[in-house]
A and B are shown apart, each in its own frame.
Chain A
Amino acid sequence: MNAPTDYLLHLADNALILGQRNAEWCGHGPILEEDIALSNNSLDLIGQARMLYQHAAAQIGGEATEDTLAYFRDVPDFRNYTLCELPHMPLMSATAQGDRDFAMTMARNFLYSSLMVLVWDQLQSSKDPQLAAIAAKSLKEVRYHLRHSRDWLVRLGDGTDESHTKAQAALDQLLPYTQEFWASSPHEAEALANGTGIDIAALRNDWNQIVDEALLEATLQRPADGGFVPTGKQGIHSEHLGFVLAEMQSLARAHPQAVW
């Protein structure tokens, strides 16, 4: 049995867009080791996205390929969490420029990886065998991503006054976006119903445990839930995704069907 196409795209788009965001640090990392770490992290995420797009493209058939799915869809077609598309800087309007904030990058990678260790673990028993195989590989990788981002969150939170302030600010900005994880969507409901997906809302307590333990160690305060629940996975995005796609897709769209 195959997972619903939109469900595969949701998982793939999360990985691709966050991979693209983390790749923005390539050549700009605060230190060489972190430059390499974030590039490796991006490679893993983009690799996961490719496997998922290939699987989805085979299902869609026709002219669809991993490349058409990554490069020739527009903002409303993307099913990623809004969290994944946000810039690495304190939030401001789309065209405003600021410096990338490493604390934002690490806080986001931590919040996302904490979810995905649980998601990939459960998806290993998906009734879609290809998705289960992708999950088994991705789980091994996201464990390293979680370890890396958690280490940094603790180091920044329990570090200097300035690093603590920045880590707390990043958390205050990003944590509300995680409310989208638990909101229902048609493709997740469909995947759960046919046994190819999982009940993501049931992972909430485990996710809270991973997050709260880390925040305690990092001496960071968890902001209260509430307010706007983002809707990226349903195709209704923040203004930031368009800018990500413009940069990511421009080469492929300028030279359609070009190959290396």
Chain B
Amino acid sequence: MPAPTKQPDSADVARAWALLEALTDPEIPVVTLRELGILRDVRAGQAGLDVVITPTYSGCPAMGQIEDDVKALLQANGLQGRVVTQLAPAWTTDWMSEAAKDKLRAYGIAPPHACARPASGAASVVQFAARGTQPEVVPCPQCGSANTTETSHFGSTACKALYRCLACMEPFDYFKPY
């Protein structure tokens, strides 16, 4: 029989934070959900803890796994709670910590540049680089060379583009600004 739900206190919240801080992303296991900006909040809810997460890309298939991982971790540690998905404010790669970017680089993924902030409204909502202009430089995470080229806008997961380094000839993923 399940134990009756106990109203979580601040000690439970702190314990949950400590546990969840260490939870890593299922697709990029070197960074935590906290560092990626996916884990937004842990608070006392009506029936147990509310763990607030925000999705990355709308169709990211890892979100279901993340929800399961959070629930399993709470349960394994005797904490009751649910996962609340919150859309606003929309997740952005700008929330990623510098430490997380270093870890990505060490893992072989070029970290995202800061998001461009195109003006809202009218056709300025989208701007295209004129043909022949130099695209932004994405340094190779393996050898550091700036001599790289984009193979495809879309890569192994929704959040990445595919690049290759023309110096060390290695292909690599680039975490796209979002």
Listed in ascending order, the chain A residues whose CB lies under 8 Å from chain B are 33-34, 36-37, 40-48, 50-51, 117-118, 121-122, 124, 129-130, 132-134, 136-141, 143-144, 146-148, 150-151, 154, 206, 209-210, 213, 217
Contacts and interface: CB of A to CB of B under 8 A. Distances in A.
Interface stretch (B44-52, B104-112, B153-161): B153-161
A156 to B, nearest CB: 15
Contacts of B60: 43, 47
B156 A133 contact: no
Contacts of A138: 58
B90 interface: yes
A209 B14 CA distance: 53
B151 interface: yes
Contacts of A117: 125-126
A147 B128 contact: yes
A117 B60 CA distance: 20
A256 to B, nearest CB: 21
Nearest to B152: A33
B122 interface: yes
A137 B156 contact: no
B158 A44 contact: yes
A50 B61 CA distance: 12
A43 B158 contact: yes
A50 B58 contact: yes
A51 B58 contact: yes
A143 B155 CA distance: 16
A148 B125 CA distance: 16
Contacts of A144: 153-154, 176
Residue from B60, B61, B122 having most chain A Cβ neighbours under 10 A: B122
A159 to B, nearest CB: 13
Contact of A133 (B87, B121, B176): B87
